[in-house]
Chain A
Amino acid sequence: MRLPWERLLGVRFQYAIPDAAAERPAPPDLSALPDHLRRELAQAADRLDVEATEAAIAHVRNIDPALADHLAELARVYRFDRIASLLIEAPAPP
């Protein structure tokens, strides 16, 4: 069925179907973090410990500044649960 403005204009619009997978940024990969740092970050996030989370992120920054920025943003909006999920989702280093 044509829409009213299509009838008025005598045209048919074709809508692009958005590629959801392409638009969503890939989740940050924490698998490169060493075990002890993953544990430090997980413990801080589980305890909702702002200072300890910030300290762990500072250590992450030495390894992966972009990842540290992402984690810092999550901590700023109190998404400790998301930090914990990312750690669970990321496979441990071999």
Chain B
Amino acid sequence: MSETDPANIVIVDDNPDNLQVLGSMLQQEGYKVRPALSGELALRAMAASASDLVLLDIRMPGMDGYETCRRMKAQPATTGIPVIFISALNESEDKLAAFEAGAVDFVGKPFQAAEVLARVRAQLKLYRMQQHLETMVTERTAELRLTCESLENSRSRYRCMLEQTIQAIALTIEKRDPYTAGHQVRVSRLATAIALELDLDADTIDGLRFGSMIHDIGKIYLPAEILSRPGRLSATEFALVKTHAEVGNEIVAPIEFPWPVAQIILQHHERQDGSGYPHGKQGREILLEARILAVADVVEAMASHRPYRPALGTEKALDEIRRGRGELYDPAVVDVCLRLFNERGYRLPP
């Protein structure tokens, strides 16, 4: 029903004379009238073509007005159509029953034409406003859904690009240090498995995953000879290697990641007892993500081959975190890591 269309009104009364009187009155006001001699006919007609208002008698042979109204309200197509009862039954309980059946108004017989028309006008105005609002809500909801879909697509693309960029950065570091090729990816997978076992939320896990993938980015600042030189490093060389956490932090800090990636990188060599570097942070001063990364980093590094020593194997690596549990490494993280390897069958990827 548009603002300009004449409203169409279904009148239901088993008495043709009443239909005639009401119908003429409404037609003179410009309404389109659809007269029904029974509730059944009215329901069938409204199923075939929508109506804007129903004027409904109560006492009718067969289906009475209450039942007609209840059935209208039970059908999605007709539930919103306003129903005005118009009846000679004028007791309070009759009116109450009418409203309980779903009526919006009640007019007693004999009625005044002006009163019926005023009530019809008021209900039609309300119905039009309600329909207008519903249309607006439907349109806005559809627009919002499209916007959300578009945002989701953009987010997926952005995420894909971010992941590819991070992988490219990780690859750049490992190109300079072939002995540790794949280290960051393997650490990232183990750290993610630990985080999942710890039941961390998806967003935190994402931050940890990305942080782990580039946690050694600071090593790009180190001479390649130091990274790939067999044998033990001198104290000076080791001091230089230790700067990679801060350098990594400086490289990543300007990037507005939605996660504390720079801090994860900065803190991944901190230890529970404050013996780590660069700032000697202790316990919960260290980000949970960094505590997880620390364990994953040590396990992967010890289990794998290094320029200065052959691979020590997973068992030795697990012994190390078992020994350092609580003192060097977060005990909860260690427990979960051990459970992954010993009970869940986790294996470091080749």
Contact = CB atoms under 8 A, between A and B. Distances in A.
Interface of A: 43, 46-51, 77-81
Contact of B45 (A48, A77, A79): A48
Contact of B42 (A43, A48, A49): A48
A77 B36 CA distance: 10
Given A78-B35, A78-B36, A48 B16 contact: no
B49 A78 contact: no
B16 A50 contact: no
Interface of B: 10, 16, 19, 23, 32-38, 41-42, 44-45, 48-49
A71 to B, nearest CB: 16
B44 A78 contact: no
Contacts of A48: 10, 34-36, 41-42, 45
A47 B48 contact: yes
A46 to B, nearest CB: 5
Contacts of A43: 48
B16 A49 contact: no
A47 B34 contact: yes
B37 A50 contact: no
A81 B37 contact: yes
A13 B33 CA distance: 54
B38 to A, nearest CB: 8
Given A78-B16, A78-B19, A49 B37 contact: no
Contact of A46 (B19, B37, B44): B44
Contact of A81 (B19, B32, B41, B48): B41
A46 B33 contact: no
Given A47-B48, A81-B38, A81-B41, 4 more contacts: A48-B10, A50-B34, A80-B41, A80-B45
B35 A49 contact: no
A80 B35 CA distance: 9
A43 B45 CA distance: 10
Contacts of A49: 34, 49
